[in-house]
């Protein structure tokens, strides 16, 4: 799976406008969040559940830094149209674990309107977990339309379009090790032609 592996990129895609959070900054913030979560959940045997696809990379790195062993679970949802104001989602891949009576920590890459999480949280609460909390790498409160009880936030961001570290533009750029703003006018192909459209960092 390409974006789950560590990418050894020699160049930065032309679509990258400005790196907002570089690899070191993300890594150190992930360590801080993991310390906080480790303290809060020590001895509680939580289910740590990433929301696919965006949160896969963040979940992997977060779990690696927790002080207790945990095997991440994942849930995948599909939204009924991005313009929908209900946030209604369909679960297309459910959690492996039964969350009844368990402490659940949901992991997101970014919360924008909050509609998706608001809806998903309501579904999951019907399963009677002992507790349910949310950790997101990025929080874009400017766009918030629905209440979401986020407990852990990596970084607050404004409403610029972001790519990298799990965030995509039409499924591209999730593999970038940093979070960056994007030149929306630059659209790159998936093929090897991509190489011709990159800017070599070392030049």
Exposure on the CB side of residue 143, measured as CA atoms within 13 A: 17
Q: State the catalytic residues.
A: 112
Asked whether position 113 contacts ligand PRP by CB under 6 A, the answer is yes
Is 45 in a helix, a strand, or coil?
Answer: coil
Asked whether position 109 contacts ligand PRP by CB under 6 A, the answer is yes
Among 31, 40, 88, 168, contact with ligand PRP (rule: CB under 6 A): 168
E strands, the chain, in order: 11-13, 16-21, 47-52, 73-79, 89-93, 103-111, 131-139, 150-156, 162-163, 179-182, 198-200
Number of chain positions touching ligand PRP (CB under 6 A): 15
- Residue placing its CB nearer to ligand PRP in the complex, 62 or 110: 110
Asked whether position 111 contacts ligand PRP by CB under 6 A, the answer is yes
Tokens representing 16? 């990258």
CA distance 41 to 82: 34
| Residue span binding ligand PRP (CB under 6 A) among the ranges 19-27, 90-98, 105-113, 121-129 | 105-113
Query: Taking the complex as a whole, how short is the minimal distance between the CB of residue 178 and ligand PRP, in angstroms?
Result: 17
Give contact residues for ligand PRP (rule: CB under 6 A): 51, 53-54, 79, 87, 108-116, 168
């Amino acid at each position: 799976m390409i974006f789950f592996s560590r990418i050894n990129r020699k160049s930065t895609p032309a679509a990258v406008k400005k790196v907002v959070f570089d690899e070191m900054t993300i890594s150190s913030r992930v360590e801080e969040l993991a310390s906080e979560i480790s303290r809060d959940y020590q001895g509680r045997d939580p289910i740590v559940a990433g929301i696919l696809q965006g949160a896969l990379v963040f979940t992997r790195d977060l779990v690696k830094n927790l002080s207790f062993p945990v095997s991440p679970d994942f849930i995948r949802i599909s939204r009924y149209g991005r313009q929908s104001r209900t946030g209604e989602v369909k679960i297309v891949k459910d959690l492996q674990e039964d969350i009844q009576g368990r402490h659940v920590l949901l992991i997101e890459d970014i919360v924008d309107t909050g509609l998706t999480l608001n809806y998903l949280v309501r579904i999951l609460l019907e399963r009677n977990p002992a507790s349910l909390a949310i950790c997101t790498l990025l929080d874009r409160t400017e766009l918030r339309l629905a209440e979401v009880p986020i407990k852990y936030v990596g970084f607050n961001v404004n409403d610029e379009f972001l790519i990298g570290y799990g965030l995509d533009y039409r499924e591209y750029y999730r593999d970038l090790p940093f979070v960056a703003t994007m030149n929306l006018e630059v659209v790159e192909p998936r093929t090897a032609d991509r190489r011709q459209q990159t800017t070599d960092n070392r030049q």
